[in-house]
Structure 1
């Protein structure tokens, strides 16, 4: 697809009135979009022709791959959730799904086993909703079918307070999981009730105690700010309770609502953007004071605990994301693909049923084809929105052009104090990091934005 010429030029970028207006507009809505991947999944469409996975993966240039499994089941849908997940606790449904996942792995493995798996992650949904024997099967598939070696791969699994049991933790420890991630969101009962999350503070504390005793190298905990009825004091109460367990990693998420979520936008608007910014700044200050380092607007971490493993390298700006399961996305440099996406119960049930009934998983027919212009935007965003920043040399090395020539509008970040350029490294300032969601949204191409805005979510 062809991209229009940049609407920015040196004269416009140097115009102080324009810059003042631009940055004011950016800051007026700092939580307009959470761009955790680019292009966004709502830009995916039916591909013109089925693309054989054998061809896609034979051309992939990444030296190592990242294996991701998606388990699209949970105990209940939270009020803020628009992920591809289905509230369904039936063991028979889970077993059928894992059977299909293994069939998919058998078909996909010949195309990707020529390179090692440096990372393996299981997400959802709630993977630990599965019975221990089915949870263990996921690792059998990763190792036996996909060639993942637990001795040199970083392994991460998501869980939830109600599914933390001794039996499940025993499986994860035996399978050499390095990182366990649990969504808590809040330890104030009225706040989790406001987002329709069925959990009690005592249940969370019990799960935290079990995870701490299990001694995974990395325990990651997720919290959400901007919840209905939340105050700065109640937000910091939840954060301080979490800090008492000394997690190696903490993610702070602002509350978003989207189409088909139970919590509605007007409930967030009552909080206001200024209050959410105050909550972010208060939590950031507390985490830095407690020895955490900031890696993005959301991620704060301490030095990782020791491990006997020698992890294979995997570059964050590389592709090679091998997705298994309904709802998993796969990323090659030129094509991103997945199953269809839905949020409503009817849509997710239908999509999962099609996946389980499928006989052929050897092609991609739904996704996004990235031309070089979109590959450049992805490369920029994956670096710029993280603390390590964008190395201008790395961009030139990959694409053979200057990033500031291709995207002169990036200079606007520098001229408004949202970023710095030093020694060939473009990095967001502390203020820029606070507005990184708005910056990411601003940098979306017109083609991708059109697709996102015209997407009809089921």
Structure 2
């Protein structure tokens, strides 16, 4: 368990030895996961009653929406993946799925067309695994069913090396996509094979050369460090190889192993001492020297990167997120919901089949009703784990009380120099960013942690 500290335990702040021990305990936690959302999907359960979407969205306070479409199909499951994906390349299966997604969009449209879409993303799985005609349909649905204006929305699409073709890229270009994201993970064949990544370095380079012929405002590349057999030299080789293509954005991820991933903790131990912090520090230094700005533990981008569009604003707390497709999450201020979640192949296939066969998509049945504590912790984490930090006045504006009064344990981060308060903003330090995954894990509420730990995935 994480070294959770409750407000009545804050005598630790007045005890330097105990404070050092708390920090040492926190930063020595094993890498287990990272919080890209809060609460985590493993805390979702069958809701006590079906919630009508008309009820959920009628009072949503977000000024603009984030539209997300989930395509759960991929060519093969990678060894580090615990996402809701199904290896399935059959075009007829994909077409039936897009049919269902369009039916869902038609039924949802009356509840969500009252506000504009500021962000639109297509993820997966691998969206570009779809045949070009089905890929193009997704943009048609976004524009003509939901009402997304491509001139005002940032549009992002995930791809993979083997699915990059000129025909698909031409569609993305014509649909005003301004960010293409591609997971590479490693340019070393043996490292890719160790995580069951179905790609060869030559395939990656072919895809990158193709992408450069269809220049998008933002090209994002993903790499993973801490792979079995990886060395600092091979890690920096992959990083330098990626940088040679001058991407506007880079995401660097530590390798995580979980209960349902193919790669297990022993695979990492077999590669020798865990040097992920060394890999992170070396990559951070290299990226900053090349003119990138750090925005989180993972995200580095060129400051001038952007689409050139006049984009509608959208808040970092990610409320008003509309998730279409099986596996997609939707976020209102007080309820997060989705389809059921699984990692195993047979259970995932069954959930997708139920989604495709459904006639009614107008109720939320699976998710979580956020308590005020959940909402407050979410607000804090979504800001604190990024470089902009938590503007303390924005928390008061939202919840009326000060964050440090509601959660005095946040002072521990300041006392241990993992965070600072400057100009009324609580912000992680350079060291704090290095351990931001541990900090995020530490701040999970006891109730949410209990739900996550009692989750049984198939």
TM-score of the pair, normalised by structure 2: 0.97
Provide the rounded CA distance (Å) in 1 between the counterparts of 2:135 and 2:253: 27
Which residue number corresponds to residue 131 of structure 1? Answer: 131
Which residue number corresponds to residue 442 of structure 1? Answer: 442
Which residue number corresponds to residue 256 of structure 1? Answer: 256
Provide the rounded CA distance (Å) in 1 between the counterparts of 2:306 and 2:397: 34
Q: Which digits, 9 at most, give the CA deviation of each residue in 1:343-398, with x for residues without a partner?
A: 11101100000000111100101001111111000000000000100010000010
Which residue number corresponds to residue 39 of structure 1? Answer: 39
User: Does the alignment pair 1:74 with 2:77?
Assistant: no
Kept in 1, the 8 Å contact 2:195–2:263? The answer is yes
Which residue number corresponds to residue 312 of structure 2? Answer: 312
- SS of equivalent to 1:350: helix
Q: Which digits, 9 at most, give the CA deviation of each residue in 1:427-451, with x for residues without a partner?
A: 0000000000000000000000000
User: Equivalences for 1:272-421 in 2 at 5 Å?
Assistant: 274-305=274-305, 307-421=307-421
Which residue number corresponds to residue 233 of structure 1? Answer: 233
Provide the rounded CA distance (Å) in 1 between the counterparts of 2:272 and 2:224: 15
Q: Per-residue deviation at 1:14?
A: 2.1
Unaligned runs of 5+ in 1: none
Q: Per-residue deviation at 1:226?
A: 0.4
**CA distance 1:308–1:436, change in 2 (3 Å):** closer
Q: Per-residue deviation at 1:246?
A: 0.4
Provide the rounded CA distance (Å) in 2 between the counterparts of 1:310 and 1:102: 28
Q: Per-residue deviation at 1:261?
A: 1.0
- SS of equivalent to 2:103: helix
Provide the rounded CA distance (Å) in 1 between the counterparts of 2:318 and 2:134: 31
- SS of equivalent to 2:198: coil
Provide the rounded CA distance (Å) in 2 between the counterparts of 1:31 and 1:302: 28
Unaligned runs of 5+ in 2: none
Provide the rounded CA distance (Å) in 2 between the counterparts of 1:374 and 1:320: 16
Provide the rounded CA distance (Å) in 1 between the counterparts of 2:130 and 2:310: 29
Provide the rounded CA distance (Å) in 2 between the counterparts of 1:272 and 1:288: 28
Provide the rounded CA distance (Å) in 1 between the counterparts of 2:422 and 2:117: 34
Kept in 2, the 8 Å contact 1:235–1:279? The answer is yes
Provide the rounded CA distance (Å) in 2 between the counterparts of 1:192 and 1:283: 19
Provide the rounded CA distance (Å) in 1 between the counterparts of 2:127 and 2:397: 39
Of 20-29 and 103-112, more deviation after overlay is shown by 20-29
Of 306-315 and 157-166, more deviation after overlay is shown by 306-315
Q: Per-residue deviation at 1:266?
A: 1.3
**CA distance 1:353–1:335, change in 2 (3 Å):** same
